[in-house]
Amino acid sequence: MYDLQGKVAIVTGAGSGIGRAIALRLAKEGAQVAAVDILGETAMAVADEMRKLGGKALGIVADVGNREDVERMVAAVVAQLGRIDVLYNNAGVVMYKPVVEILEEEWEDLFRVNMKGVFLVAQAVARQMISQRGGKIINLASVAGKRGMPNLSAYCASKFGVVGFTQALAWELADYGITVNAMCPGVVDTPMWEKLDAEICRRQGLPRGEARRRAINTNVIKRVETPEEVANLAVFLASSESDYITGQSLNVCGGRVFH
């Protein structure tokens, strides 16, 4: 367990999956958490769950790809909770499609969330952390940011981008006492993976669940990853025990990739 009493954290994409698991784990560790999601109902539901755990929580509706939304979100957190100690840039989308079929607007829509959103939120939060002279930024990348995969070209490109952005930002913010790292999950039991499995199976004529089963079998640990296992790494990176770690993209993937 990590003692995060008094820490203030923002989790984007907190309405479900990995984001929800991170938000709830932070609340259990004593942090005050702003659960941010584009869907207001899910953001508020997660905030209610965190309050039941005894923590102070906010539910905020925001589109991470919209600068005005992002700046409003950051201002609301500072106004109500006083500071920002930890950011989890978790919001993301996926697309499984051969590159020759991808429409320009589909590519742009994915990058709007997975790269522009990460940039906008990190930029706004970094300004606050610089004024505080400290903080931790954790970006959600993926094993798809370590290895190209067929029919995931847009998603892989965006997650490779998150890895590079993480490294550059670690250099830029180090003198202000801010660390920047990324997490690289694999096959996680989330709505995103359900969507991905359904699309792969549809295209390949497979029964639902078969694509995920085959993906799991390429892991060293041959089972699906839980969102809570990603949250385990997330709280470590939020804690003082990770103070000498920065610029890293850490795999939490059951051995799906090794670098």
Token digits of residue 248: 């890293």
List, in order, residues 6 or more apart from 237 with CB less than 8 Å away. Answer: 136, 138, 181, 183, 245, 250
Diameter over CA atoms, the chain: 54
Nearest by Cα to 69 from 47, 50, 51, 43: 43
Q: H-type helices in the chain, by residue range?
A: 17-28, 40-52, 67-81, 104-111, 118-132, 153-173, 191-204, 210-216, 227-238
Instruction: Tell me whether residue 155 is one of the annotated catalytic residues.
Output: yes
Specify which residues 138 forms β-bridges with: 88, 181
Q: How many CB atoms lie within 10 A of CB 205?
A: 7
* 60 and 77 Cβ atoms separated by less than 8 Å: yes
The active-site residue, picked from 2, 88, 96, 155, is 155
Nearest by Cα to 145 from 242, 36, 248: 248
Q: How many CB atoms lie within 10 A of CB 230?
A: 25
Active site residues: 155
